[in-house]
Amino acid sequence: MSEQKMIPSFDLSRNHQRVKEEVKVAIDRVLETQGFILGPEVDTLEKEIAAYLEVENAVGCASGTDALILAMMSLDLKEGDEVITTPFTFFATASCITRTGAKLVFADVDPETYNMTTESVLEKITPKTKAVIVVHLFGQMCRIEELKEELAKRNIKLIEDCAQAIGAHRMIDGKIYRAGAVGDIGCFSFFPTKNLGCYGDGGMVSIPHDSKRAARIKSLRVHGSGKTYYHDEVGINSRLDAIQAAILRVRLRHLEEWNEERRLVAERYRLLFGEKGLLDVVTPPAEDAGNRHVYHQYVVRVKDRDELQKFLDERGIVTRVYYPLPLHLQDCFSSAGYKKGDFPVSEMLSDEVLALPIFPELLPEEQERVVKEIAAFYAGRK
């Protein structure tokens, strides 16, 4: 083990140092009011996020998982209805489907962008398909406009899981759309490590153009109640705290700058891999034409992934594997009836992907060390 300092995969404290005075003021403002659940801070944050995304409505809730569950609840799914999503994503994207009693259907992803493809989704559509959840994985939007057109023809709802992609955008027909502004519903997470993170759990649902659905989701998050103690339907308790909302309002003002910094980190990695002649063993993430990727994660594909990860770990460089087991092979989804070989791209990615350290404050010299060690690993193997 070298004497050098550890390079973490993310470092929230470096980020907090940049905003801590502003955050203290925001928290104090809430403490003075002693109003902790929903209230004016949450209302204002919802308006600010809606304006940022250029959508009609945004509704705060307790987590990204709950945002997905609320979205599913608002679709009135019945047993036997089918919802299509990707097996190469975080667990919550799929569990929100089985929770409603609907049937979970997977569609494979593209090996370069790691996002679900329109062709793979179209193959899985049946007369029972009610919705598709696309995931803008690792910070870049999928080719959502192609899919949107196909789904609209068939009256199938389009849900965007934007947990990793707040601030990402895509050029569609000459206009820029942010993640969460294209489909019928967008779902966001403010988990602390996300590009816009709070200091606990938090989430948001965006509803670009359906005020009735927005009102319904607002009611669903407070036990299906419009008027206090009168319940129109059975909802859940999924409220956003005022303290988290106040913190998020501070952090939202910095989001563009932090996302730009992540993009610089990504660009620097790419240049360093080229310089060190590593592009035959390391495949950097591809930015699809028209996309602004916000690099929630910087995920490369590599040869001998597990050995490389161990080698880097021994040298103080922390990397992660998102995701080591695709969802169709998880025990808890075995009743969906999938087996190994059903989604070859997702399975291949699970063996090859490695997430390198990335966060806005990552230093150029730290990145150089990461790439130098990767080069050292392959020097002994080529």
Residue 304, exposed/middle/buried by CB under 10 A (0-12, 13-18, 19+)? middle
In whole angstroms, how close is the CB of 100 to ligand PLP at the nearest point? 16
How many Å apart are CA 190 and CA 64, to the nearest integer?
7
In one letter, which amino acid is 364?
P
Q: For the window 193-232, what string marks contact with ligand PLP as x by the rule CB under 6 A?
A: --------x-x-----------------------------
SS3 8: coil
73: number of Cβ within 10 Å: 22
93 near ligand PLP (CB under 6 A): yes
Q: Where are the alpha helices (DSSP H) in 240-381?
A: 242-252, 255-275, 305-314, 344-352, 364-379
Closest CB to ligand PLP: residue number: 64
92 near ligand PLP (CB under 6 A): yes
Site size toward ligand PLP, by CB under 6 A: 15
Closer of 161 and 184 to ligand PLP (Cβ): 161
189 near ligand PLP (CB under 6 A): yes
Q: For the window 142-171, what string marks contact with ligand PLP as x by the rule CB under 6 A?
A: -------------------x-xx-------
For ligand PLP, the binding residue among 15, 63, 85, 219 (CB under 6 A) is 63
Please tell me the number of Cα atoms within 13 Å of 298 on its side-chain side. 25
191 near ligand PLP (CB under 6 A): yes
- Give me 124's structure tokens: 């899985």
How many Å apart are CA 336 and CA 302, to the nearest integer?
31
In whole angstroms, how close is the CB of 374 to ligand PLP at the nearest point? 25
CB 159 within 8 A of CB 94: no
For ligand PLP, the binding residue among 73, 97, 135, 336 (CB under 6 A) is 135
65 near ligand PLP (CB under 6 A): yes
Using CB under 6 A, list all residues that contact ligand PLP.
63-65, 89-90, 92-93, 135, 161, 163-164, 189, 191, 201, 203
